[in-house]
Homo-oligomer: A and B are copies of this chain.
Amino acid sequence: MKKNILRAKLIQIFSKYQLSKKHSEICADYLIKAELIEAKSHGLIRLKMYCDRIKKRLINPRPKIKIKKLTSSISHIDADNSIGFVSAQTAINQAIKNAKKTGIGLVAVKKSGHYGLSSFYADQAVKKNLIVFCFTNAPPALAPHGAKKSLFGTNPICFGVPTGKVPFILDTSTSIINRGKIRRAHKLGEKIPYGVALNKSGKITTNAKEALLGSQLPIASFKGSGLAWMVDILSGVLTGSSHGGKTKDPFDDFTGPQNVGHLFITIDPKVFVGLNFIKEIKKNIKIVKKLPKAKGFSSILYPGERKNKVYKKNLNKDISIPSKILKEMDELNAI
């Protein structure tokens, strides 16, 4: 489907589900962006879920988002159960503003939902020449080190830096593999790799369904578990959102709003070394890229480079949509 046609359709659907025109546009653009960077698990496959949650008012289509300015650097946002895309967009705008004014921004969001990919928001701060951290928690997927039951989300750590060229954007979950990959293996009846997930009894499994019902393993055992815990504290406990496994699964749990939390930290890199920052980061990247390559590597990429290539490759192509999702879109549009 042509991008502009898809965009119009998505805006129409979200509008039918009572979102304002502006909010519908934000949501449409992020779903399309997920498709363009081939993060399909965060793209159109989620459209029906979002609409179902709006219909049940677990996502508030007309949120009264309150931005509480605590200092000129720090803001606290009550997203009023808005769709995550809109709360996070509000928050990153604020975090950019705060850092531009004072050198550092800290913005916490409560009562939000799944916001797509952290890199969506990091990208915007980086394009305004800021360093940025984005943290969000997520429903239980990961067993804490020493436990055999999932509790943390795949809680990503996202860090972005301007480079003068393609943004450096690290966006890494704290699980060994992404949950989307396990869902996909389940759908296709494929096995998952050994050592990435446990079944319900706490034993390693290569069966995708068992893994989804069991728990995923964190990267580097206690190290990844600690990092996932850190993200739960920063985005859940600190912001006044759900934490400790109470964040609801958007696909499976319709007993209430998700109450996801996000935290954004923005830093103006000019504060310490002025324009030298860009000169030095360019030097840094150049040095790494020139290292002798490991077997099987023809080049060394920095985080964000590969995704940027994929995005550019797909930018002027049509977006291919599986018939199942096309049908869902028609049904959602028919109300």
Q: What are the 5 A-B residue pairs with the smallest beta carbon separation, nearest first?
A: A219-B220, A147-B291, A244-B287, A146-B297, A170-B226
Residues of B within 8 A of A237 (CB): 269, 277, 280-281, 284
A-B contact pairs, 23 of them (CB 8 A): A71-B102, A73-B102, A73-B104, A74-B103, A74-B104, A103-B106, A131-B233, A147-B291, A148-B293, A148-B294, A151-B287, A151-B291, A157-B227, A161-B230, A170-B230, A202-B294, A202-B295, A238-B269, A243-B280, A243-B284, A244-B283, A245-B287, A265-B265
Interface residues of A (CB under 8 A from B): 70-71, 73-74, 76, 102-104, 106, 108, 131, 143-149, 151, 157, 159, 161, 168, 170, 172, 176, 198, 202, 219-220, 222-224, 226-227, 229-230, 232-234, 236-240, 243-245, 265, 267, 269, 271-273, 276-277, 280-281, 283-284, 287-288, 291-295, 297, 299-303
Measured CB to CB, the closest approach of chain B to A108, in angstroms, equals: 5
Q: What CA separation (Å) do A222 and B232 show in the bound complex?
A: 22
Q: What CA separation (Å) do A137 and B236 show in the bound complex?
A: 29
Instruction: List the B residue with the shortest CB-CB distance to A301.
Output: B146
B227 and A143 within 8 A (CB)? no
Instruction: List the B residue with the shortest CB-CB distance to A98.
Output: B104
Residues of B within 8 A of A223 (CB): 172, 219
Q: What CA separation (Å) do A234 and B295 show in the bound complex?
A: 29
B233 and A168 within 8 A (CB)? yes
Partner of A272, one of B108, B148, B159: B108
Copies of this chain present in the complex amount to 2
The answer to whether A276 and B170 touch (CB under 8 A), given A147-B294, A300-B145, is no
Instruction: List the B residue with the shortest CB-CB distance to A302.
Output: B229
The answer to whether A238 and B287 touch (CB under 8 A), given A146-B297, A265-B265, A281-B233, is no
B288 and A147 within 8 A (CB)? yes
The answer to whether A240 and B272 touch (CB under 8 A), given A176-B220, A233-B161, is yes
Partner of A149, one of B159, B227, B238, B291: B291
Instruction: List the B residue with the shortest CB-CB distance to A295.
Output: B202
Measured CB to CB, the closest approach of chain B to A57, in angstroms, equals: 25
Measured CB to CB, the closest approach of chain B to A293, in angstroms, equals: 6
Q: A76-B272, A147-B288 are in contact. List 10 more A-B contacts (CB 8 A).
A: A71-B102, A143-B291, A146-B293, A146-B299, A148-B294, A159-B230, A168-B233, A170-B229, A229-B302, A233-B281
- Interface centre among A131, A146, A168, by most chain B C-beta atoms within 10 angstroms, is A146
Residues of B within 8 A of A219 (CB): 219-220, 223-224
Measured CB to CB, the closest approach of chain B to A219, in angstroms, equals: 4
